[in-house]
Each structure stands twice: as structure tokens, then as C-alpha cells.
Amino acid sequence: MRTEQALLEFLASRVAANLSPATIGWYKDRLLPFARSCPTLPRRPEPVECFLAEIQGSPETKYDVYRALKTFFKFMSSRRRLPNPMEQVQSPRRPKTLMPTLELGELMRLLHAAESPRDRAIITLLMDCGVRAGEVCSLLKHNIKQETIIVRGKVGWREVPVSEETRRLLLQIATLSSDDYVFHGHKGPITRHLIYAIVRRTLEKAGIKGPKMGPHRLRHAFGKNFLVQGGDLRSLQEIMGHADIETTQKYASLNLTDIIKKHQKFSPLRAAHAAAQESLFDTDAALREAEAILLKAKGVSHEGEDNGQTN
């Protein structure tokens, strides 16, 4: 079977399943190079492994292609009853990485660095509830409610709580809009690319460095700081629109507050310092030494009294 034909069937099934255009584009970008590399759909793992070995880029890039191939071949195996070579292909190793976030001081600098009321409203919205760039684009004037906003995300429309300060800024920008959308660029409703440019420019102006300089960094910062301030994972999942709680649990690893407190309390270095201080100021030893001095002084005193009586 031609790989290109198989890929067209797979993508059609994703469209029929009502996956988002962004998700379908994600599969297409990762599977088209494979279709060009392997014109005939392979039934053994070796061609797949050779293709993965030639991929240039980060370990995350190679792992993304592996994931796309795994889903693709699972579909073809089920639909056409073909052998699934991915069952014998080992997952590429991925070094553990930390999601780049922002500390509270950096968030404040970012707010002050916004160049216009529109940019400040966008930064505030991203910071306040961790929405995605595409969800900012989807915001309509009538979807700004009393305590929430309604945005279109990966799994459809959802309601997200916002702070009063954020709502006030959104309403101010909405009054300037000539259509139903809240945010605009030079040629109509704002795009994800423009939001990325706004966030990057503001981060740079605030003196904040990479590795990630787009709106997703503010999303990560929201998730981390929500938990640091005492929020729970279930609420965070609902706010961020994660379909799976496992995705939300990644943010729990960023919350080091409790770990830092325990480290400060139980660090061996701290215990060593305490032991050193005790050796210098050992109260029990000091008491024993004082008692010995007093007993010695008392003995001398009694000896003097005895000598006086004899005389």
C-alpha cells in the first residue's frame, strides 16, 4: 500500500473525529516527511527506525514524530489489518526538562513593560488564567461575563474564571472594537502569531531571557504559581482546559515550596552547623564544669573553716 494513500485515510479519520485544525496540522507536519521517505507503507520496523535516526533537531522533536507514527500505524493496523511495525520500535529517549516559567517579580515587571492598553490586557489575561494564545483570539465581547470569560479551546468552548482587574481591562478594550471580537491587529481580529510577537516583545523589554519567549511561558507560569499560592490540581485542570489530569500533574513538579521548606529544615549541612554550635556552646558540659567549680570552691571554704576552729 502506498504510504501517501494511507496518510490521506488517516488524516480523513482525524477530520471525521472532529479534531481541531491545529491537531490535524500537527499530524500532517510530522507524517508527510515519512511518506516521502517511505513511499511504500513498511511492515517491518527497520525503515521506521532508519527514518527516526535521520531526524534532525531536539530529542523532543524526534519523540513527537515517534508519537505521530505510533498513532498512525495503530490506526492502519486496526483499519486495514496490517502489521504494526511500531510495536517493535523503541521509544526515543528524552532527557527530562523543566517547563520554563516566571517568578512573581518577573510577572510584575512584565505587566509594567506592556506598550499599550491592548498589550497590557493580553498579558494580564494570560497571566490571570493561563489561557492559550488561540483562546485569546477567540474571545468575543458578549463572552465577557461577570466573573468568567468563555473561550474556544482544543476541546471546544469552556468557561474560565477571571479576576476583576482582568475583566475591567477586557471591557475597556472591547468598547474600542468595531465587531464581536475583543482583540484586533492591523487587519482584523488578532492572530496567534501577533500574540506571540506581543508577548516576546514584552518579555524582552522586561529583561526576561529564554528559552521560551511566547505565550505558553505565561501559561506555565500561571499553572505553577496557582499551585504555589495554594490552588488544587482539579481546579487547575478545569481552568487550563486539560482533557487529562496527567497533563495538569506536570505542574505539581514545578511547585517546590514544600520541598524548599523541608530542605531548609532537614538539610545535613544545617544539622552539621547545629552540631558545631552545640560543641561550642554545650550547655550540659557548661553546667557540669560550673558545678565542679562550685564544689571545689565549697571544699576550699570548708577547709578554711576547719582550720579556724582548730586554731
How do beta strands 188-189 and 184-185 pair?
antiparallel
Q: Can you give the pLDDT at residue 212?
A: 87
DSSP label at residue 87: G
User: What is the model's pTM?
Assistant: 0.70
Q: Can you give the pLDDT at residue 253?
A: 76
The distance in angstroms from the start CA to the end CA of the chain is 127
Look up the CATH architecture of domain 104-258.
Orthogonal Bundle (1.10)
Mean pLDDT for the stretch of residues 66-94? 94
Residue 188 to residue 165: CA distance in whole angstroms: 26
Domain boundaries, the chain: 3-88, 104-258, 270-303
Q: Can you give the pLDDT at residue 183?
A: 97
pLDDT at 33 over 90: yes
pLDDT at 307 over 60: no
Residue 53 to residue 230: CA distance in whole angstroms: 44
Q: How many residues does the chain have?
A: 311
Please give the mean pLDDT across all residues of the chain: 87
Q: Can you give the pLDDT at residue 306?
A: 53
Look up the CATH architecture of domain 3-88.
Orthogonal Bundle (1.10)
Listed residue (239, 248, 216, 243) closest to 159, CA to CA: 239
